[in-house]
Amino acid sequence: MIRFCLLSVFFLIISQAALAATDDFTIRTLVGGDTEPPTTPTILSATPITTSQIDVVWSTSTDNFSLAGYRLFRDSVQIATTTLTSFSDTGLTENTLYTYEVNAFDAVGNTSTTSLPVATTTLETIITPTSTPTTTEERQLRFSSNQVQLQTLDIITSLRTAAFDFSGSRIFRYVLRWGRTTDFESGFIATDIYAIDHVTEITDLEPGTTYEYELVGINEYGRESLLSRDQFTTSRQADAVPPPNVSNVRAVVEGENVQLFWDEPLDPDFKEVRVMRNYLFYPNSPQDGFFVYQGGNTEVLDVAALRDFDRQYYTVFSYDEAGNISSGAIVLAVRQAAVSGDERLVPGVDLAPGDDETIDPAYLELQASDVSLEQPPELFVLSDENIVINGNDSYLVSLPYEVVPEHLKSIIYDVIDGEGSVLQSFLLRINKDKSAYEAVVPAFAFVGPVKLVVHVFDHQLRQVRTVAGEADIVSGRLSQREGLLLDRIIEVGSWFFYFLLALSLLMVLWLLGRRRKSDKTEDSQ
């Protein structure tokens, strides 16, 4: 019996050691064992660039598991959350002292201590009396000395994007315009950050198309210089399928600041997101409204977004590797002091009786049966009585282009739970062949009955038509954390099974040994 106990303890120790050796990192993370904060970063420099900009650079922090990012503070107020180790702080007051601090945080929320503060003062406008140039050569020399000269320019195109990487002879900000003609009618990108090197990207382009562009540099004195005016052509490829939208978009209002969160779509081709906002209505495209963020994070802090407005409308667009863009997931942020009653995600007003007379009759022809839901192999229309959606997969919401007038403003699709709360909200955008308004709704973690609603807004932002249907979501997507935990449970269970199997074999061998020894003893007697 003593031998059996010793053997059991021995194999138990071996089994536990094997488990610990497999993936101790993941196990400790999932059960919340990580309590160690990252190391404290150090601000390396805070450099005044212009009268309104200071560039801050800090050292890299380390963490025992996974470093998530940094929080930067100006005068003890958080102004940025980033994964980078630098930040350009703009919109400052000239000749003013600012103090900066930074801390680091990991994936489970442990936060380092805050760095020692570093202070610096923005530049002051200095007007130096000079004599008026008398000759043409002197005037040209004076003018050229202040101009921005283009040093390098690289343009890399893909199916629907064009990446610009360029530098100048001095610090400058830029305006980039583009279009199919020299009117540059398609849009523009501008920055208020002064730097020697700049990188930007034009998105939502057409494959195999030649575009005209104009790049203008603006020095710290406001003087404009034409840096380049030329053409670029996007590449050709068959991939024109937009990626699913992000899911679980939410906005947390803290005073004048808005913290946005979202979950990435489960799409292998997913690349990044672009966040836009507008104080009038939800941005319909990545060029509509004010640029907030572009990259691979799942959250962003929009500083002072509610300083001048009571509400801000946000759209989060997702991109795939080919440059295709989703229709957009939306959320509304409202200053807390301005909330009265039930603040709805879609701020439309239901039409009162008689309002139909002032509306284009074409809107009123829209019916629930015009809205289709496609999740292969199933195809439903919104008026069907038994719509069943598999929550583990994305699905396509579609409205034929000819059903509503061309001059409409926005079409919004809501998924609402049984208590009337909006679970998900998306824009429907015109597809590439202009045959339908579409949105790819991602899988998200919800199971149960839902109401599906389509709102149509005209160019005056009136809610002119609403159609609805009901559905059942039968299998919600496991969150990434839940999925990893389930995988770990299965893995640990497998190891435990093998341990019991080995222990059983040892017991059988031990019993056989006892039996043989007993038989030998009886034979000798």
Ordered DSSP codes for 364-394: HT--GGG-EEEETTEEEETT-S-EEE-TTS-
Structure tokens at 456: 């149509």
Q: What is the pLDDT at residue 476?
A: 60
Q: Is 401 left (phi over 0), alpha (psi -120 to 50) or beta?
A: alpha
CB atoms closer than 10 angstroms to residue 386: 8
* Prior bond of 283 cis (ω within 30°): no
Instruction: List all residues 6 or more positions away from 197 whose beta carbon is below 8 Å from its beta carbon.
Output: 165, 166, 167
Give the Cα separation of 103 and 112 in Å (integer): 6
Structure tokens at 347: 């701020």
pLDDT tens-place string over residues 161-217: 999 999 999 999 999 999 999 999 999 999 989 999 999 999 999 988 999 999 999
| DSSP single-letter state for residue 115 | P
Residue 75, strand partner residues: none
Give the Cα separation of 147 and 448 in Å (integer): 63
| Phi, psi angle pair for 214, to nearest 5° | -140, 125
Structure tokens at 443: 């899988």
Residue 215, strand partner residues: 176, 228
2-30 vs 480-524: helix crossing angle, rounded to 10: 170
Structure tokens at 469: 């249907």
Instruction: List all residues 6 or more positions away from 402 whose beta carbon is below 8 Å from its beta carbon.
Output: none
Structural contact between residues 213 and 177, judged by C-beta atoms closer than 8 angstroms: yes
Q: Which residues of the chain have pLDDT under 70?
A: 1-33, 126-145, 237-239, 337-360, 476-494, 519-525
Give the Cα separation of 206 and 85 in Å (integer): 35
pLDDT tens-place string over residues 221-265: 888 999 999 999 998 766 678 899 999 999 999 999 999 999 999
Instruction: List all residues 6 or more positions away from 315 whose beta carbon is below 8 Å from its beta carbon.
Output: 275, 276, 277, 282, 283, 284, 288, 289, 328, 329, 330, 427
Instruction: Name the amino acid, one letter, at 475.
Output: S
284-to-184, 277, 369, 430, 487 alpha-carbon distances in Å: 19, 10, 25, 10, 40
Instruction: List all residues 6 or more positions away from 447 whose beta carbon is below 8 Å from its beta carbon.
Output: 391, 473, 474, 475, 476
> DSSP characters for 48-108?
E-SSS-EEEEEPPP--SS-EEEEEEEETTEEEEEESSSEEEE-SPPTT-EEEEEEEEEETT
Half-sphere exposure of 174 (CA within 13 A, CB side): 28
Structure tokens at 170: 């001095």
Give the Cα separation of 342 and 280 in Å (integer): 20
Q: What is the pLDDT at residue 1?
A: 45
Give the Cα separation of 34 and 17 in Å (integer): 20
Closest C-alpha to 422, from 288, 249, 211: 249
What is the SS3 assignment for 522?
Answer: helix
Q: What is the pLDDT at residue 365?
A: 81
Structure tokens at 150: 């283009």
| DSSP single-letter state for residue 325 | B
Residues for the chain: how many in total?
525
Cα angle 440-445-447, degrees, rounded to a multiple of 5:
100
Closest C-alpha to 415, from 383, 444, 385: 444
> DSSP characters for 473-500?
E-SPPPPHHHHHHHHHHHHHHHHHHHHH
Closest C-alpha to 453, from 401, 477, 417, 419: 417
Cα angle 347-477-415, degrees, rounded to a multiple of 5:
20
Cβ burial of 512 (10 Å; 0-12, 13-18, 19+) is exposed
pTM metric for this prediction: 0.50
